[in-house]
Structure 1
């Protein structure tokens, strides 16, 4: 079945736990609307993380370079433990405490910048710290931390890496695993055991031949101890050189990552600057065009206002003329009616006289 996309998983596991279920259900519904029921079922299987696990997931999602540094430190710690390098181990342990404290502080900052996150006083930062320490000791936990899908916090109560390195006892010969049990080996052939004597010799006294053999044995043991000491010194020097090379390689990788990030940030900033400059120029051009249009509209408005005034004056003049004409028409009609009335009266009188 298809797994949810990385972007979707990061979005869900970067969501505060109180909002995880709602965001997951919305993603399931969206997958179903898109006609992808298999993906919808896989999304529905995702489980809500605890607050501490969510904080660790924020680090893996938003600060993966810091989590990568944690993995490098874990490898250096394991190397120092395997090589039994006390001073280097103490130095790395101090570095571990500083790195874990910085990661916890970064998790608190990321939570403060996330909408819907719990208040700072309720963040389980101690659980975050124990989980990061467990990731330094356990490669399985480290893988879960890097995945950004951690569901709950964890801790490691042991010492050193998991599994612990097997300690070895270095002798003049080949190195053998130390089991912590008393040795039951028989003394080498040709060497008498303590408390035993050769046949015919009295206990507590040795003849010239035995004394010579004992002196030879002591010389052999001294030579073996000297060779073992030189071998141990050479091995320590070789381990120190390997550790120094590993440290330099780690520093180089860290600087290369920092340089790559700085270049990426610079490219992004340069791109944003170009875009902002272009947008500013376009906005200025648009403002100039609007101002020109506004000036033209103002000019046209003034002309229109003058035209309205002229038309208003002409209307008033026409109204006065119409009023005068109506009044004149009424006067003429009245005069005509009077004249007609007079003519009618005169005609009636003439008819009566006849």
Structure 2
């Protein structure tokens, strides 16, 4: 994106959202007048941010060094949680809470300086977005651009350590069964030991076979659920995109309607001015004709008297 376009985009996302649509329409108009259709197309694709997203954008645009510190703290927190360093993790967590509070306060000051009423700022959403940026590198990258269009949330923080599960194999099942079914020395001399051992082995085989069958069923159910989840996520993403596009179209039409109303008002005023000028010209023409008639009559009288 050319440097000039980047500056225009930054200015659009820097100003309060209630002026975004009109400012974007003006920027698109200027690009079209300059014959820069590509820039006009890029500007038309920009989405209006929510108030919370605008406040975060202000922070990213005007205080980028704070966003850099946020990224550094995020990296340290994820590393500490992966390595389960309890004391360091507690210290970083306390630092995180203090840092998030300071960023929210800085964002609030910037928004108030930009003309937003402090009482109406959605600081809870701003805090949730900053917290999500700390937890998720993807959100942090979006925040860094200064072009968020909505607030972000995160249900937890960092990477949750995976539980260490013991995989039960055929050998371990056999070992467990052997331990549970071990025959006391006194019972070794009991009648028909071969039949008892065979029955125990058959029971273990049945249990192992049942376990494998159940595992295959669960694998199929898991794969089906994952596929359904991917389809649902895709549908949700398409629905959200369609909703955004529809909202964007409404914003564009509102801006065009406002521009047409402005031009119509100017045209009505121009018609009124031209009508007044016409009436004035008509009066002057009528007066001139009267003067011509009077002069002609006086001339005729003078000519008749002379003869």
What TM-score bracket applies, with the shorter chain setting the length?
0.5 to 0.7
Report the structure number with the largest CA radius of gyration: 1
Q: d(CA) in 2 for partners of 1:147 and 1:106?
A: 18
Residue of structure 2 in register with 1:292 after alignment: none
Q: d(CA) in 1 for partners of 2:48 and 2:175?
A: 72
Distance 1:127 1:4, change over 3 A: farther
Gaps of 5+ in 2: 189-307
CA drift of 1:4 comes to 7.0
Pairwise mapping of residues 135-150 of structure 1 onto structure 2 (< 5 A)?
A: 135-150=133-148
Bigger proportion of residues as helix: 2
CA drift of 1:42 comes to 1.3
Distance 1:202 1:123, change over 3 A: same
Q: Normalising to structure 1: TM-score of the pair? A: 0.48
Pairwise mapping of residues 260-279 of structure 1 onto structure 2 (< 5 A)?
A: none
Distance 1:202 1:111, change over 3 A: same
1:202 has 2:186 as partner: yes
Pairwise mapping of residues 133-282 of structure 1 onto structure 2 (< 5 A)?
A: 133-161=131-159, 164-167=160-163, 178-179=164-165, 183=168, 186=171, 193-195=178-180, 197=182, 201-202=185-186
**Per-residue deviation, residues 201-242 of structure 1 (Å, max 9, x unmatched):** 4369xxxxxxxxxxxxxxxxxxxxxxxxxxxxxxxxxxxxxx
CA drift of 1:44 comes to 1.4
Residue of structure 1 in register with 2:94 after alignment: 94
> Comparing both chains, which one has the higher relative contact order based on Cα–Cα distances under 8 Å and sequence gaps of 6 or more?
2
Q: What secondary structure sits across from 1:202 in the alignment?
A: helix
Q: d(CA) in 2 for partners of 1:6 and 1:190?
A: 67
**Per-residue deviation, residues 92-143 of structure 1 (Å, max 9, x unmatched):** 11111111100000001111211xx320000000000000111111111111
1:41 has 2:45 as partner: no
Residue of structure 1 in register with 2:299 after alignment: none
Would you say how many aligned residue pairs link Structure 1 and Structure 2? 188
Q: Normalising to structure 2: TM-score of the pair? A: 0.55
